[in-house]
Structure 1
Amino acid sequence: MDPGDGDEALLARVAAGDPAAIRSLVAAKLPRLLALAGRMLGESAEAEDVAQETFVRAWKQARNWRPGGARFDTWLHRVALNLCYDRLRRRREVAMDSPPDHADDGPAPDRGLQARDVGRRVAAAMAALPDRQREAVSLCHYQEVSNIEAAALMGVSVEALESLLSRGRRALRVALADMVEP
């Protein structure tokens, strides 16, 4: 069964002001929205802001939602992606001397140095991708969205999405080539 099948009934309950439905909606959708925004933006605080704004928009839209069009999950991801792009545009407008420091919430240094280095390298390689390639890779590989749904979210054909994925994967392979064991 498609996890999005119950979204319309849940959304109707949200529109009616049911607090349990709102909690259920957030519980069901928050992890994927945080993961998507985190991969797109590279900062957990910004990802949380995007997720919160996405839910505010979903709550406001709940009364006007009409079943039969786009899947709610698709719409929700599109809203989150648009909010991410807004933030990415604003970042380009503000030049920074150096990247901000991030607290390390990972495993203890004696156990997690290599894993942290790999994660940073992959995150840096993802961040270096052009926006559309990063979006395609994030949706298909990290969010596990089908190619058809990802293409719809991005407003491109499936062939164009596959081209973006191919170029993104190739760029990641080049950027991370020294990490692969012979």
Structure 2
Amino acid sequence: MTQSPTDPAAEAALLAAYAAGDSDAARALASTYLPMVYAHAYRMLNDRAEAEDVAQETMLRLWKHAPSWDSGGAASLRTWMYRVTANLCIDRLRKTRPDGLPPDLEIADTRPSVEVQMQNTARHMALEDALMQLPDRQRQAVVLRHIDELGNSEIAQIMDIGPRAVESLTARGKRALTALLSDQRKNLGYTDDTVGTS
């Protein structure tokens, strides 16, 4: 099997010959890189026909890129081949998997309605206003626990107090928020006993 030269200048000369239509250069590159490219594509796609298409496309891109190959570039020919192969495979996967749906596929809009967005904004503003009415330490404990979702031990370290003090501050803060927001429950669309925080 013909091996590709590892010297950058020799690689560049081989690529120049390939670009000029030299059949020996084409055979040398194909015998060295085509099996590697196909194997990599097959491992990524698990489909022989798709892997063959990717291998052919990679060789075509190499032929197009060969005349302008920069022998002083950071990537070796082998690295470049792997990168192109991987990118082509990723493009194909995006077209066939749910996380890369075809652009012409219509997807239902799952965003909240304008009414729900407005209600959420009103709730957020009411909560912010109520939080600002709490004593500083209660506000800090409530925010760390229920908005930043930190655990009591971490909050205790942040606030330089014990875990029981965190529980006490958080409980008092929640009670104060409930009282502050109680007269707004109907306007904010609350139908249960939960107001403001979880």
Q: Normalised by the size of structure 1, how large is the TM-score?
A: 0.48
Largest Rg, 1 or 2: 2
Larger RCO of the pair (alpha carbons < 8 Å, separation 6+): 1
TM-score by length of 2: 0.44
